[in-house]
Structure 1
């Protein structure tokens, strides 16, 4: 990982830790792709990425990230996390996540997040959570 890529990783993760959609979106290229591989299509461009991230934090306001491992290259990183929190309906979230991130020009060009689909479905099983997720 180059120093520039490491810097993007550190700032990007800090934005997620702070639950700050504006800060996260600012670290994406204008034409960036954000794809949470959970059966939904990818989100494209900063404004839409900001909206998608804000929706995640609205659904799980106390979302927390436990670092598992990090692999890096010159212009990418792959990181494993354990996500925990509580949905707005009170359901516990305990999900494994792997992110593959491509960096271009000091910003996130692509972010692909792969989650444990069974754990996500269990956390979102209540009708109230499904309604909150759609907003």
Structure 2
């Protein structure tokens, strides 16, 4: 059974989360990568391979921001001394195959592990595959 300290929100982890989330909200790959360890693993569980290393993550995030027009809606956040779990919705703006713009949402879940230095050593992102597939199909994007 986990200790109460592992369940309750911790101020240091909360502050780190806020800095990290700001990087995503402002679409700043340098800020995001700076909060990861050199040997970080960033894995979106959508069938893609994990991104390994801070430099690779920087490139990956820059590519995401160039390729997709999306924002985030916050959900529940659970923090412990060396982790956070964050429920959120990705809000994506697309143009459908019929030429009509549309907005789609996709439920997401981040599981983030921190090292003793307070760096993100692993981020696993779980995607609602049905919502993602429906949005991408409507936009004519193959997964």
Task: Answer whether TM exceeds 0.5 for this pair.
Answer: yes
Relative to the length of structure 2, the TM-score reads 0.81
Q: Do the aligned residues in 1 keep the contact of 2:95 with 2:139 (CA within 8 Å)? A: no
Indicate the larger mover: 37-46 or 118-127: 118-127
**1:81 aligns to 2:88 (yes or no):** yes
Q: What is residue 13 of structure 1 aligned with on the other side?
A: 21
Relative to the length of structure 1, the TM-score reads 0.85
Q: Any stretches of 5+ residues in structure 1 without a counterpart?
A: none
Distance 2:21 2:140 in 1: 29
Question: Could you say if the C-alpha distance between residues 3 and 17 of structure 1 is closer, same or farther in structure 2, counting changes exceeding 3 Å?
Answer: same
**1:49 aligns to 2:60 (yes or no):** no
Post-superposition Cα deviations, 1:56-111, rounded to whole Å, max 9, x if no partner, equal 222222x1111110111110000100110214775533100000000111111100
Distance 2:103 2:10 in 1: 37
Q: How does 1:2-41 map to 2 (within 5 A)?
A: 2-41=10-49
Q: What is residue 75 of structure 2 aligned with on the other side?
A: 68
Distance 1:6 1:98 in 2: 17
- Report the 3-state secondary structure (helix = DSSP H, G, I; strand = E; otherwise coil) of the residue aligned with 1:40: coil
Question: Could you say if the C-alpha distance between residues 51 and 123 of structure 1 is closer, same or farther in structure 2, counting changes exceeding 3 Å?
Answer: farther
Q: Any stretches of 5+ residues in structure 2 without a counterpart?
A: 1-8
Distance 2:51 2:106 in 1: 21
- Report the 3-state secondary structure (helix = DSSP H, G, I; strand = E; otherwise coil) of the residue aligned with 2:141: helix
- Report the 3-state secondary structure (helix = DSSP H, G, I; strand = E; otherwise coil) of the residue aligned with 2:137: coil
Bigger-Rg structure (1/2): 2
Q: Do the aligned residues in 2 keep the contact of 1:29 with 1:107 (CA within 8 Å)? A: yes
The RMSD of aligned alpha carbons is 2.0
Q: What is residue 3 of structure 2 aligned with on the other side?
A: none
